[in-house]
Structure 1
Amino acid sequence: MQVENGFKGNNFPVIIADSTICQEVRALETEFEEVGTRDVISEDQIQDNRQPSSREDLLHFLNELGWLFQRMNTPAHCSMEFSCLRFKFLFTFSVERDWSALIKMLLDTLAERSLKFDALAQESLEMLMEIQLLNRAVKRKCRKMVDLLLNYSVIRGDAAEVASKMYIFPPNSIGPGGLTPLHLAASAQDSKDMVNALTNDPQEIGLDCWNSILDDNGHSPYMYASQRNNHSYNQLVARKLANRKNNQVSIDVGNTGIEGGTAKTGCSRALEVSSCAQCALAERTHNKRIARSRGLLARPYVHSMLAIAAVCVCVCLFFRGSPQIGTVAPFKWENLDFGPK
């Protein structure tokens, strides 16, 4: 991808990356056009909780990203020269635009260089905690970004030690004021999808902390959801806790929930739900409703046709008799002539 706008000289920066990252970065073309035309903050930025970017910010991001990619694509690349402060700018810029592919690439690059020096690893972790990537993604209600961060892990340990996974962005990570991503999702409207994602983390930390983890004011995510009338969030978490305790799976059918079946864990950890009497009853009732509504004609049309048929029969019977029409002979159908005369 070649960047040409806003640069002087004969040499233009070229960003070499996969198609997904290029597709994300190409969205800056629209921002470049808006920077020169808008005088106020656009509605999209207000809705996305994003600060307006100046032309200098956009160009600085492209310069930094191009420099990092250039180092990565050289045979003896050295990303050590890229400070955590520069990574922080790239992370913040990308997460505010929901660029999950670019965020993953930056995390992989940061993890690769942190494996070589423990000091860099500690510095990188402190920088990521300061940015609060998961909190930002929850505020923006970006499910794809939240799933990426919750499941992102690095291998900790070497050959002499037992290697284990370390998840960098758990749902109980504490931010300013003791607020966690769970608190933010519980207090926001229309965030049931976020609550569902945060309570589906690989370590099941979200489910365990929903009722127990407290902020600086002593409030749990459960209390936040109750105070803001987000009772569906608490019901969702309660159903998940019951499913885990009883080793079962709940299925929503309309406005009611049907619980049944057992969860079997195999190599692929697939869930197999066996049928139950309640499920079969619900299926039969549903099929009967469909069969009734799929008749040849609906009831209102049948009633109308019956009324019209009754009127026609009455008219035919009336003309079939011998009514007196003034001084004219009685009218009979048999006396009508037909054909050429």
Structure 2
Amino acid sequence: MRLPNWMWDKLAADPAHWIQKLISLSTDTLWRTGWMYARVQDYLTLSCNGNLMLASPWQPAIGNKHQILFITPIAVACSSTANFSVKGLNIAQPTTKLLCVFGGKYLIQEATEKLLDDTKMQRGPQCLTFSCSFPSTSGRGFIEVQFLCRYVCSHFPLLTLQNSCFLFQVEDHDQSSLSFPFVVAEEDVCSEIRTLEHLLNLVSFDDTLVEKNDLLASRDRALNFLHEFGWFLQRSHIRATSETPKDCTEGFPAARFRWLLSFAVDREFCAVIKKLLDTLFQGGVDLDVQSTVEFVLKQDLVFVAVNKRSKPLIDFLLTYTTSSAPMDGTESAAPAQFLFTPDIAGPSDITPLHIAATYSDTAGVLDALTDDPQQLGIKAWKNARDATGLTPEDYARKRGHESYIEMVQNKIDSRLPKAHVSVTISSTTSTTDFTEKHASQSKTTDQTAFDVEKGQQISTKPPLSCRQCLPELAYRHHLNRFLSTRPAVLSLVAIAAVCVCVGLIMQGPPHIGGMRGPFRWNSLRSGPK
């Protein structure tokens, strides 16, 4: 059943009226044929062939508190046999049955007393154990304890002997519930989910603990994750195996999917995140944006992983590909190879590298960001600039993280090829043609500071034509540089030339007309005669 919240409130306030109305309005034989036992929290009803036979508060046969405290395991691998252990209070009674429900079928229907080693009544928690085999499908299952009240057992004894009674049970999924969910999925997914078992174990909770409320809140979140993730897998399986899935005409709500993804990221469940993303790209989620890629990138998973200082999560995200699924739900769309990159820009053009460079304990995170398969991290280290023009290297230098700078620089020196200028020289040595080759890149982080081409290998021995041009080029370059870039030298040369000319004039014998003999400057006399 799926009802609005206000209808669930009315159903809990007056179950008999609404159950009778449900039976009378329904045309399905499921509700109008045979026995139906319905329990809404602490109230039960019993109907037969569409007629309401009993409406009474729930009165357990023995004791005043019945609940399932904990089950293990909470996640089971597909196509496997699981050994379940169910712990609870007053769950082994003469009129109780344990049911294992999965895929719309009862895999186990056994009396609880047969599953209990000690048949004597116990005041403390009781433990039931049983084995159950599961198919190759994934989804959500339930361990339930079917409990009939003393009045029902005494006035309708056939219900305890026949299996024809339909059980309708509405639970609030808190610690008073008589049903407990479990997930059936791949083994790597189950191994991560089973780490939540310590949060779900009410047996370990002490009433004297100061943080009991926090523990119960964490337990409710973990229990809600089991319900939501299991239901998500079950819907996905139905859509994948049915040509016209009648039960899943509507997609999974985007808000609930975001909550599942956020919970998995918070717990660093890499296998669960992969399962969620793979299923998302296969369709079945009602997106509130145009494309699936846009929806995923808006979650800022790389930034969240960096803020959590989670190196395993960063390693998974940077290597995750969508090659097995279309990008926007259409068959003709080309899938992207790598969805998450370390140079993705956030607010103010800040990248995950900028954030990692500011923290003092993120050497492993920065190492993971600069180890991506496309080598975008080490390229963006000196080229990705925020709104103020600062690079991740500038961030690290301002905060004194010299070890970060040295680590990334070693990667740059060992992995990135060195830049060089490509020169084209004709066969004649009189003309040269210099051309710069610019690589067209989609991102500015792939461009070097001098717009030069990066080659894999640089030959140390130039070809013959280059060796012929090298002396002339070197001479011209040196001469031009010497004369054009040294104005003081030119001034000294001019003064020296003037001095030389004056000296030659002073020492040379000039010819003066009208005079005999050679004229010499030193023969002149000065002063009065």
**Which interval holds the TM-score relative to the shorter structure?**
0.5 to 0.7
Q: Quick one: distance in 2 between partners of 1:181 and 1:242?
A: 22
Q: Which amino acid aligns with 1:106?
A: L
Spell out the pairing of 1:250-261 with structure 2 (5 A cutoff). Answer: none
Query: Tell me, what secondary structure is at the counterpart of 2:322?
Result: strand
Question: For residue 223 of structure 2, what is the aligned residue in structure 1?
Answer: 59
Q: Is the 8 A contact 1:186 1:225 kept in 2?
A: yes
* Post-superposition offset of 1:6: 3.5
Q: Which amino acid aligns with 2:293?
A: L
Q: Which amino acid aligns with 1:191?
A: T
Q: Quick one: distance in 2 between partners of 1:71 and 1:8?
A: 27
* Post-superposition offset of 1:159: 8.7
Verify: 1:94 aligned to 2:264, yes or no. Answer: yes
Q: Is the 8 A contact 1:182 1:221 kept in 2?
A: yes
Q: Quick one: distance in 2 between partners of 1:55 and 1:177?
A: 38
Cα separation, partners in 2 of 1:237 and 1:200, compared to 1, 3 Å: same
Question: For residue 124 of structure 1, what is the aligned residue in structure 2?
Answer: 292
Q: Quick one: distance in 1 between partners of 2:346 and 2:283?
A: 26
Cα separation, partners in 2 of 1:207 and 1:41, compared to 1, 3 Å: farther
Spell out the pairing of 1:1-80 with structure 2 (5 A cutoff). Answer: 1=75, 6=174, 12-33=180-201, 39=210, 54-74=218-238, 75-76=241-242
Q: Quick one: distance in 2 between partners of 1:182 and 1:79?
A: 42
Q: Quick one: distance in 2 between partners of 1:222 and 1:79?
A: 51
Question: Among 236, 240, 243, which residue is 2:407 paired with?
Answer: 236
* Post-superposition offset of 1:105: 0.7
Q: Is the 8 A contact 1:71 1:79 kept in 2?
A: no
Q: Quick one: distance in 2 between partners of 1:31 and 1:9?
A: 16
* Post-superposition offset of 1:80: 6.0
TM-score, length-scaled by structure 2: 0.40
Q: Is the 8 A contact 2:174 2:220 kept in 1?
A: no
Q: Quick one: distance in 1 between partners of 2:342 and 2:182?
A: 37
Q: Quick one: distance in 1 between partners of 2:220 and 2:386?
A: 38
Q: Is the 8 A contact 2:363 2:404 kept in 1?
A: yes
Specify which structure has the higher proportion of strand. 2
Cα separation, partners in 2 of 1:152 and 1:84, compared to 1, 3 Å: same
TM-score, length-scaled by structure 1: 0.59
C-alpha RMSD of matched pairs (Å): 3.7
Q: Quick one: distance in 1 between partners of 2:253 and 2:314?
A: 25
Q: What 5-or-longer segments of structure 2 have no aligned partner?
A: 1-74, 76-140, 144-172, 419-455, 458-529
Same amino acid, percent of matched pairs? 31
Verify: 1:134 aligned to 2:302, yes or no. Answer: yes
Verify: 1:169 aligned to 2:333, yes or no. Answer: no
Cα separation, partners in 2 of 1:79 and 1:186, compared to 1, 3 Å: farther
Spell out the pairing of 1:326-341 with structure 2 (5 A cutoff). Answer: none
Q: Quick one: distance in 2 between partners of 1:9 and 1:79?
A: 30
Cα separation, partners in 2 of 1:189 and 1:201, compared to 1, 3 Å: same
Q: Quick one: distance in 2 between partners of 1:221 and 1:148?
A: 22
Verify: 1:208 aligned to 2:379, yes or no. Answer: yes
Q: Quick one: distance in 1 between partners of 2:358 and 2:307?
A: 10
Q: Quick one: distance in 1 between partners of 2:304 and 2:174?
A: 30
Cα separation, partners in 2 of 1:13 and 1:41, compared to 1, 3 Å: closer
Question: For residue 506 of structure 2, what is the aligned residue in structure 1?
Answer: none
Q: Which amino acid aligns with 2:277?
A: L
Q: Quick one: distance in 2 between partners of 1:177 and 1:41?
A: 42
* Post-superposition offset of 1:209: 1.0
* Post-superposition offset of 1:7: 6.5
Specify which structure has the higher proportion of helix. 1
Question: For residue 82 of structure 1, what is the aligned residue in structure 2?
Answer: 252
Query: Tell me, what secondary structure is at the counterpart of 1:14?
Result: strand
Q: Is the 8 A contact 1:141 1:191 kept in 2?
A: yes
* Post-superposition offset of 1:124: 3.1
Q: Quick one: distance in 2 between partners of 1:187 and 1:108?
A: 33
Query: Tell me, what secondary structure is at the counterpart of 1:73?
Result: helix
Q: Quick one: distance in 1 between partners of 2:212 and 2:379?
A: 41
Cα separation, partners in 2 of 1:245 and 1:101, compared to 1, 3 Å: closer
* Post-superposition offset of 1:12: 3.9
Q: Quick one: distance in 2 between partners of 1:211 and 1:188?
A: 18
Query: Tell me, what secondary structure is at the counterpart of 2:337?
Result: strand
Q: Which amino acid aligns with 1:129?
A: L
Q: Quick one: distance in 2 between partners of 1:129 and 1:25?
A: 25
* Post-superposition offset of 1:60: 2.2
Cα separation, partners in 2 of 1:175 and 1:36, compared to 1, 3 Å: farther
Query: Tell me, what secondary structure is at the counterpart of 2:184?
Result: coil
Cα separation, partners in 2 of 1:192 and 1:120, compared to 1, 3 Å: same
Q: What 5-or-longer segments of structure 1 have no aligned partner?
A: 46-51, 248-262, 265-341
Q: Quick one: distance in 2 between partners of 1:122 and 1:3?
A: 36
* Post-superposition offset of 1:203: 1.8
Q: Quick one: distance in 2 between partners of 1:204 and 1:179?
A: 18
Q: Quick one: distance in 2 between partners of 1:97 and 1:134?
A: 15
- CA deviations over 1:214-257 (Å, ceiling 9, x no partner): 2234332111111222111111221222223448xxxxxxxxxx
Q: Count matched residues.
A: 239
Q: Which amino acid aligns with 2:409?
A: A
Question: For residue 358 of structure 2, what is the aligned residue in structure 1?
Answer: 187
Q: Is the 8 A contact 1:187 1:224 kept in 2?
A: yes
Q: Quick one: distance in 2 between partners of 1:131 and 1:41?
A: 32
Cα separation, partners in 2 of 1:14 and 1:159, compared to 1, 3 Å: closer
* Post-superposition offset of 1:33: 4.8
- CA deviations over 1:60-87 (Å, ceiling 9, x no partner): 2221101112123333265961122221
Q: Quick one: distance in 2 between partners of 1:79 and 1:110?
A: 16
Q: Which amino acid aligns with 1:25?
A: I
Query: Tell me, what secondary structure is at the counterpart of 1:200?
Result: coil
* Post-superposition offset of 1:154: 1.7
